[in-house]
């Protein structure tokens, strides 16, 4: 059957239009809302900033990230977190003891939380708020914090431990009164990347989108900026953070209407603030917000689908409305490790054997290699694994004590590497 050229043209135009659409999200008047957005969904989810206070990672057996909700509207009060050097939970704390203010670093959703900022990046056992103890096989708290709440009262806070999959924490007034002790088991939240906690309700907040239900977060967060006097200051800004498992590339100096993803695969980054706050700037000459006309963002969602994002309008604090164009670029065949939902190794350090725990999205042969510090393979195996949660045992009793690297790979994907410590 021959299709008339005009009809063919209309079909092509309709197909192109169906792949792109204009979307509007909001941060609310005076930026009072955080909005969770997923590409392709017709509705986004907006929540008041005070919906939660801190968030615990629940992405595997070895993650121990804890994040602070930095968001506050123009007329709101920020949560503020401080380290109290040399103090213990039983001490009476006064405000003269407040040490460094701690903020999320907007790098990742695993260890980029405010409670993790004191960690030694060179020590895989250090999580900032606590350190992994091979004898007890738990992360034991090593820091005391003070949290300034939105009502401007103060609480001292200690993350006691992460014992297996269970966080233990407690908080009280600075003089020790009104002490609250709680536990939070990651295993109770199998569909969550993050578990959110509210100090006003002393409970988990369960109405925030779960893993895979959002790609971008339009919110307020603190970031260091040049103060024009040779230093940096932390400013609370309205911006866009990418969600767990999402990668973003920023492309400038192009025609947004014709640019394609081809050639930009290697520019993708897992940093949370690639979109950030500078997709708009305030023009003092016109006293209005201006958006770059030659910039797009390619956003690769956790499911492997790539979207082109082009910001069109920003109404500022009067409404908090943001308008952008999303274009579905399809599932792009790039090398990635999206076959893994999560991967962890325990115990680590190990003496006799270590267990690799992983969740596969589909059945696949899994290649495992252990390399020593000089890059030599000291153990390898291929394990045929079905879809879902699986464990593989690695013998290490024959290896000298030290730090090794475990590499895990499935066909057609990039390898994932993690340190593996063999204890004496």
152 plus 113 within the same structural domain = yes
Residue 338: predicted pLDDT: 55
The DSSP H or E segment spanning 156 is strand 154-163
59 plus 192 within the same structural domain = yes
Residue 332: predicted pLDDT: 64
377: containing domain: 340-422
- Going by C-alpha positions, the residue among 232, 225, 266, 234 that lies closest to residue 249 is 266
Residue 20: predicted pLDDT: 79
8 A C-beta contact, residue 139 and residue 162: yes
Asked which of 205, 239, 266 is the last residue of a domain, the reply is 205
Query: What's the predicted TM-score (pTM) here?
Result: 0.78
35 plus 153 within the same structural domain = no
8 A C-beta contact, residue 72 and residue 48: no
| The total number of structural domains that make up the chain | 3
57 plus 188 within the same structural domain = yes
Domain-located, residue 8: no
37 plus 73 within the same structural domain = no
Residue 383: predicted pLDDT: 86
182 plus 279 within the same structural domain = no
Q: Which residues of the chain have pLDDT under 50?
A: 1-18, 334-337
242 plus 327 within the same structural domain = yes
8 A C-beta contact, residue 302 and residue 245: yes
**Which residues does 128 contact at the CB level (< 8 Å), separation at least 6?**
111, 113, 115, 116, 117, 118, 119, 143
Domain-located, residue 10: no
The conformation of residue 269, written as its DSSP 8-state character, comes to B
Residue 9: predicted pLDDT: 39
Distance, in Å, from the CA atom of 168 to the CA atom of 161, rounded to the nearest integer, reads 5
159 plus 246 within the same structural domain = no
265 plus 161 within the same structural domain = no
Residue 342: predicted pLDDT: 65
Domain-located, residue 17: no
Alpha-carbon distances, residue 84 vs 121, 153, 167, 423 (angstroms)? 21, 16, 21, 32
303 plus 354 within the same structural domain = no
88 plus 183 within the same structural domain = yes
8 A C-beta contact, residue 143 and residue 83: yes
Residue 339: predicted pLDDT: 67
Domain-located, residue 160: yes
Domain-located, residue 14: no
Residue 372: predicted pLDDT: 86
- Going by C-alpha positions, the residue among 85, 15, 25, 5 that lies closest to residue 313 is 25
236 plus 279 within the same structural domain = yes
Residue 156 pairs in a beta bridge with: 146, 172
């Amino acid at each position: 059957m021959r299709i008339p050229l005009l009809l063919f043209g209309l079909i092509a135009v309709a197909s192109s239009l169906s792949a792109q659409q204009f979307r509007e999200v909001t941060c609310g008047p005076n930026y009072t809302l955080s909005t969770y957005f997923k590409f392709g969904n017709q509705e986004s989810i907006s929540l008041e900033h005070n919906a939660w206070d801190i968030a615990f990672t629940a992405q595997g057996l070895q993650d121990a990230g804890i994040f602070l909700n930095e968001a506050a509207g123009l007329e709101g009060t920020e949560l503020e977190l401080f380290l109290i050097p040399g103090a213990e939970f039983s001490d009476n704390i006064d405000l003269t003891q407040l040490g460094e203010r701690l903020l999320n670093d907007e790098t990742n959703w695993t260890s980029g939380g405010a409670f993790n900022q004191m960690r030694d990046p060179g020590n895989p056992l250090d999580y900032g708020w606590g350190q992994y103890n091979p004898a007890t096989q738990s992360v034991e708290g090593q820091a005391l914090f003070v949290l300034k709440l939105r009502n401007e009262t103060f609480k001292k806070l200690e993350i006691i431990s992460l014992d297996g999959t269970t966080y233990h924490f407690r908080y009280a007034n600075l003089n020790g009164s009104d002490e609250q002790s709680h536990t939070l088991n990651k295993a109770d939240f199998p569909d969550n990347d993050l578990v959110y906690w509210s100090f006003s309700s002393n409970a988990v907040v369960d109405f925030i989108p779960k893993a895979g239900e959002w790609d971008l977060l339009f919110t307020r967060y603190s970031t260091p900026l040049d103060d024009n006097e040779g230093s940096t200051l932390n400013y609370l800004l309205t911006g866009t953070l990418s969600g767990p498992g999402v990668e973003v590339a920023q492309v400038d100096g192009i025609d947004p209407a014709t640019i394609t993803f081809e050639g930009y695969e290697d520019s993708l980054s897992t940093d949370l603030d690639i979109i950030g706050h500078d997709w708009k700037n305030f023009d003092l000459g016109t006293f209005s917000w201006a958006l770059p006309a030659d910039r797009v963002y390619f956003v690769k969602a956790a499911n492997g689908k790539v979207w082109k994002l082009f910001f069109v309008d920003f109404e500022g604090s009067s409404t908090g409305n943001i308008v952008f164009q999303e274009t579905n670029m399809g599932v792009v065949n790039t090398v990635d490790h999206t076959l893994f939902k999560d991967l962890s190794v325990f115990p680590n350090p190990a003496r006799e054997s270590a267990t690799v725990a992983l969740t596969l999205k589909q059945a696949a042969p899994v290649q495992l290699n252990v390399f020593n510090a000089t890059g030599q393979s000291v153990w390898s195996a291929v394990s045929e694994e079905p879809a879902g949660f699986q464990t593989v045992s690695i013998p290490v009793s024959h290896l000298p004590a030290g730090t090794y690297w475990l590499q895990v790979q499935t066909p057609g994907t990039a390898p994932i590497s993690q340190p593996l410590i063999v204890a004496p």
